[in-house]
Amino acid sequence: MPPELQKLLDELDAADRDAKAVADGLDEQHGTWSPSPGAWSVAECLDHLAVSNRVYLVQLVAGAARGRAQGRLRRRPALPGFVGAWFARYLEPPANVKTKNPRITTPRRSPPLADSLEAFLESQAGFRDFIRTNADLDLASIRFVNPFIRGVRFSLATGLHVIAAHDRRHLWQAWNVRRAGGQ
């Protein structure tokens, strides 16, 4: 596995461990508790990540299929370009600027914590499979349609780095919710 892709796999594994830790020991009442009206609970943070990941992965898979059909094999490391790297950094915690999430990624209202955690972990497994299956492609040059930002196309490499940063952002948010609830 190329080192930058192994680093992404390690980041996905770390996000899995963090998600399990943030949910560990919470009962349903605490897992679905929200610090204020309109704020997300731990379960809603995990649900948002699961939904976002599933929607994003569909577009990544489509982009990889097009790249494979065109014979676009790996020529350079799977790293984002300047704009993609900036966007991934923007998503990193702490979230200094609150942004409105796309409507299609709005979490279910008070989903069961165990269901949200399981859905998140399954979505992460999908990204690990994607990386392993497509490590031979030129992920830095193959583009996909960003499902959340109309008219924007990212490289597959950027998409993978964005997902890792997005995971960290909302896991950070989930930890803040848990601490606010005294857990």
- Domain containing 92 — which CATH number? 1.20.120.450
By the 10 Å C-beta count (0-12 exposed, 13-18 middle, 19+ buried), 100 is classed as exposed
Say how many domains are in the chain.
1
Give the bridge partners for 155, in sequence order: 143
Q: Among 176, 59, 56, 43, which residue's Cα sits nearest to residue 124?
A: 56
Q: How far apart are CA 164 and CA 71, in angstroms?
A: 27
Residue 104 has a pLDDT of 79
User: Which residue range forms the structural domain that includes residue 59?
Assistant: 3-180
pLDDT at 182 over 80: no
pLDDT in tens, 83-113: 999 989 998 998 777 777 888 788 888 899 9
Q: Report the mean per-residue pLDDT for the chain.
A: 94
Q: Stretch 29-49: mean pLDDT, rounded?
A: 94
